[in-house]
Amino acid sequence: MRKVIIGNHALSYGAMLSRAQVIAAYPITPQTEVIELLSEMCANGELDAKFIKVESEHSAMTACVGASATGVRTFTATSAQGLALMHEVLHWAVGARTPVVMGNINRAMAPPWTIWTEQTDSLSQRDTGWMQIYCQNNQEVLDSVIQAYKVAEQVKLPAMVILAAFVLSHTSETVEMPEQEKVDEFLPPYELEYKIDPDDPHAFGGLTGPDGYFELRYIIQKAIEDAIPKWEEVGEEFGKLFGRSYGLVETYKIEDAKELIISSATVASTARSAIDYLREKGKKVGLLRIRVFRPFPAEKVKSLLSAIDKAIVIDRNISFGASGIFYQEVKAACYNEKNKPPIFGVITGLGGRDVGKKDIIDIYEYVMKQDKVESDIIWKGVRV
């Protein structure tokens, strides 16, 4: 069955089809439709979940972490300021090894107050240990929620499914709705190995000194590394059942490519049409869309970049004092490689300024005229 739904509702349907059992959420523009629909689903019995309408995002995440530790599937959604308020608890979810799944609508951070899209909110959480999936359309949003539970529950780490404010959150698209029986087959009930259980009492998260904490961090890193093949396996398995396969990255027209445009989310989706145009003009350019940002698909990036002449990373985010964040990651992954192209970093579209096909064509043409990387940031579209 197909439905025309906004990206926010794709998150809600993803949580519903995954049979989330506890939801705790707090409203923030542009996320509200996610929790409004979930409230209705819980009220009318479509979804058998406890919905805690908490008084803050901090409480939303702590409630999800607490519920998850009892062995149930949990869901929340937020954006920008709300995600920043959760920051402490994002670390807690990882340290407590609770596979919470959350939707985050990429919105730029205040001040000044703004509600339009940018990725700096979620990318600021990159070192927490949350897995991060950047989606390019509403179908992928819904499908990624289901996959996120599957991977998260296997590696016992939380996952964030991310979509652009308004560009996806409030844009209606046709979405194929997976059948519940098939989702149940794909995602069986959640079984947690270690959980809060009065019949088997344990303390979780008690004081741990230098002789124990280090190893726990090592184990988390191993778990998130394990998630790298799991995202591929789960994405393929999903494809077999539902006809739509996913991986860590997506490539487009790369077979004979001399140059690669690297981006994420909806900017990458727009880049596809820019590439079509450039291909018609005889340019040998392809696209690398990074879907899973954490764990970072470094091996994929390295091998794809080993055979090209130039790479252009387009970031709708910024790490002040450094550069675009996807750019840093791509550059870092390739640094020790023998065969690596010059990597150009472009920052554009901050605070939701539109990034269109022509902008990406302009970026490509500008970079083609450069012999070497002069600066870590090429600003595109800033009016200064």
Decide: is 47 part of the binding site for another protein (CB under 8 A): no
How many chain residues are in contact with another protein, going by CB under 8 A? 43
- Pick from 70, 114, 251, 319: which binds another protein (CB under 8 A)? 70
Decide: is 56 part of the binding site for another protein (CB under 8 A): yes
- Pick from 45, 111, 188, 209: which binds another protein (CB under 8 A)? 209
The one-letter amino acid code at 216 reads: L
Nearer to another protein by Cβ, of 71 and 381: the residue is 71
Q: Per the structure block, which two tokens stand in for 253?
A: 């027209």
Nearer to another protein by Cβ, of 58 and 353: the residue is 58
> How many C-beta atoms lie closer than 10 Å to residue 302's C-beta?
17
Q: Per the structure block, which two tokens stand in for 232?
A: 């591929």
Decide: is 125 part of the binding site for another protein (CB under 8 A): no
Q: Evaluate whether 316 touches 355 at the Cβ level (below 8 Å).
A: yes
Nearer to another protein by Cβ, of 204 and 379: the residue is 204
CB of 201 to another protein, least distance (A): 5
- Alpha helices by DSSP H, listed for 113-195, are 120-123, 138-155, 180-186
Residue range at the interface with another protein (CB under 8 A); choices 46-54, 121-129, 148-156, 310-318: 46-54
Decide: is 25 part of the binding site for another protein (CB under 8 A): no
Distance between CA atoms of residues 54 and 366, nearest Å = 49
Q: Evaluate whether 306 touches 337 at the Cβ level (below 8 Å).
A: yes
Nearer to another protein by Cβ, of 207 and 384: the residue is 207
- Pick from 43, 172, 205, 335: which binds another protein (CB under 8 A)? 205
Nearer to another protein by Cβ, of 1 and 207: the residue is 207
Phi, psi of 379 (to 5 degrees): -85, 130
- Pick from 24, 41, 288, 346: which binds another protein (CB under 8 A)? 24
- Pick from 12, 18, 62, 120: which binds another protein (CB under 8 A)? 62
Instruction: Report residue 146 CA to chain centroid gap.
Output: 13
- Which element (helix H / strand E) includes 263? strand 259-263
CB of 141 to another protein, least distance (A): 24
DSSP code at position 377: -
Q: Can you state the angle between helices 57-68 and 80-95, rounded to 10 degrees?
A: 30
Give the footprint of another protein on residues 236-255 (CB under 8 A).
none
Strands 101-106 and 159-164 come out as: parallel
With left for phi above 0 and alpha for psi between -120 and 50, is residue 123 left, alpha or beta? alpha
Residue range at the interface with another protein (CB under 8 A); choices 18-26, 122-130, 138-146, 166-174: 18-26
CA nearest to 149, candidates 196, 114, 117, 186: 186
- Pick from 40, 43, 46, 53: which binds another protein (CB under 8 A)? 53
Decide: is 66 part of the binding site for another protein (CB under 8 A): yes
Decide: is 59 part of the binding site for another protein (CB under 8 A): yes
* Bridge partner residues of 248 (DSSP): none
CA nearest to 108, candidates 144, 140, 81, 69: 81
- 297 prior amide bond cis, ω within 30: no
- Pick from 38, 67, 94, 167: which binds another protein (CB under 8 A)? 67
- Pick from 11, 25, 49, 223: which binds another protein (CB under 8 A)? 49
Give the footprint of another protein on residues 145-204 (CB under 8 A).
196-198, 200-204
Q: Evaluate whether 286 touches 253 at the Cβ level (below 8 Å).
A: yes
Residues engaged in binding another protein (CB under 8 A):
21-22, 24, 49-50, 52-56, 58-60, 62-72, 74, 88-89, 92, 96, 196-198, 200-209, 212
